[in-house]
Amino acid sequence: MAEIDLLDRYPRTKRNPDERAASLTDEDRRVAKQFGSEYFDGPRNRGYGGYRYDGRWVPVVKRFAEHYNLTGSSRVLDVGCAKGFMLHDFRQVIPGITVAGIDISQYAIDNSMEDVRPFLKVGNAKDLSMFGDKSFDLVISINTIHNLKLEECKKALKEIQRVGKRAFITMDAWRTPEEEVRMKKWNITAETFMHVDDWKRLFNEVGYTGDYYWFIP
């Protein structure tokens, strides 16, 4: 288990938590948590503000491939795959690789990239029973499991541990009181978010031994 930033090649955008907090309403948060069309392709204060393919995952996929020694015979699962952009890039970067993805959003799956749609399913991170033990060389879950309540989050971590030989996850967190304030202003969907040390204690509690990193606005 290692704390490692494998998203260091992902394009960074400047975030303004104060501006976001001022524009958010309870209705925005309610709609965002439905993870439907408004979340993916609606206004920015209800989610992505338009989630369209632009190739930004290519350098990240190359980073994963290098770090985990992935080849065309590898199997990768994306838990919280959204429209499948990262899995599309896996197939482009590593020809022959086997990919699978689940997402809680039927809208995301219905509007996913056509080349990966056959490999995607609607599902919840807390229940990966459609997959066998250690059936993937790598399981990735980026900013997803924190959208579950604590007990469900524990189940998701255990499931990721079960189905993957290796794993990499990211979740909402903070290291300082100032970062905690920014997180609470920024968050619209996360149900479980905490100090990085509390996350590490949770990993030990549930037996998660994969890699991890944080989303801190």
Amino acid in position 30 = R
Q: 14-28, 65-79, 132-146, 188-202: which has the minimum mean pLDDT?
A: 14-28
Arithmetic mean of pLDDT, 104-112: 98
Return d(Cα 210, Cα 138) in angstroms, integer. 10
Classified as helix, coil or strand, 164 is: strand
Quickly state the pLDDT bin for 78 (edges 50, 70, 90).
Answer: very high
Quickly state the pLDDT bin for 21 (edges 50, 70, 90).
Answer: confident
User: Above 90 in pLDDT, residue 147?
Assistant: yes
What domains, with CATH codes, occur in the chain?
16-52 (no CATH), 55-123 (3.40.50.150), 134-217 (no CATH)
**What's the confidence (pLDDT) of residue 23?**
87
**Which pair of tokens denotes residue 151?**
């007990």
Classified as helix, coil or strand, 172 is: strand
User: Above 90 in pLDDT, residue 1?
Assistant: no
Return d(Cα 181, Cα 23) in angstroms, integer. 16
Whether the Cβ atoms of residue 93 and residue 61 lie closer than 8 Å to each other:
yes
**What's the confidence (pLDDT) of residue 157?**
98
Q: Of 131, 93, 103, 107, which Cα lies nearest the Cα of 40?
A: 107
